[in-house]
């Protein structure tokens, strides 16, 4: 998560980490780490460049599928446009 969340890391490194996280979520349950995963993704989605935001959305898609019903707790964080509401990040 530190690779993803740090804006000083190169975009390619952050994208690769996001892609890897998405693939891991397809094979292993990340529900134990839900908050530790979702909040950094929310920050990146709120503050990142458009290319990073697209990869975050793809990763969120993979994670939502793996979380199933456990994702309900995070629904209030997501606005209608698919972006994380910034008031939840403070």
Q: Which residues on neighbouring strands pair with residue 84, listed in sequence order?
A: 78
State pLDDT tens for residues 14-44.
999 999 999 998 898 887 888 788 888 888 8
Under the banding of pLDDT at 50, 70 and 90, the label for residue 75 is low
What are the phi and psi torsion angles at 78 (to 5°)?
A: -100, 125
Q: How far is CA 86 from CA 43, 46, 49, 75, 90, in A?
A: 8, 7, 15, 13, 7
Report residue 67 as tokens.
């979380």
Q: Which of 54, 24, 31 is nearest to 41 (CA)?
A: 54
Neighbour count for residue 41 (Cβ, 10 Å): 23
């Amino acid at each position: 998560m530190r690779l993803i969340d740090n804006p000083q890391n190169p975009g390619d490194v952050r994208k690769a980490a996001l892609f890897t996280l998405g693939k891991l979520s397809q094979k292993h349950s990340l529900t134990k780490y839900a908050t530790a995963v979702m909040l950094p993704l929310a920050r990146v989605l709120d503050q990142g460049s458009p290319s990073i935001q697209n990869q975050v959305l793809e990763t969120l898609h993979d994670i939502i599928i793996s979380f199933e019903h456990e994702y309900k707790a995070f629904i209030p964080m997501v606005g209608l446009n698919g972006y994380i509401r910034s008031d939840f990040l403070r």
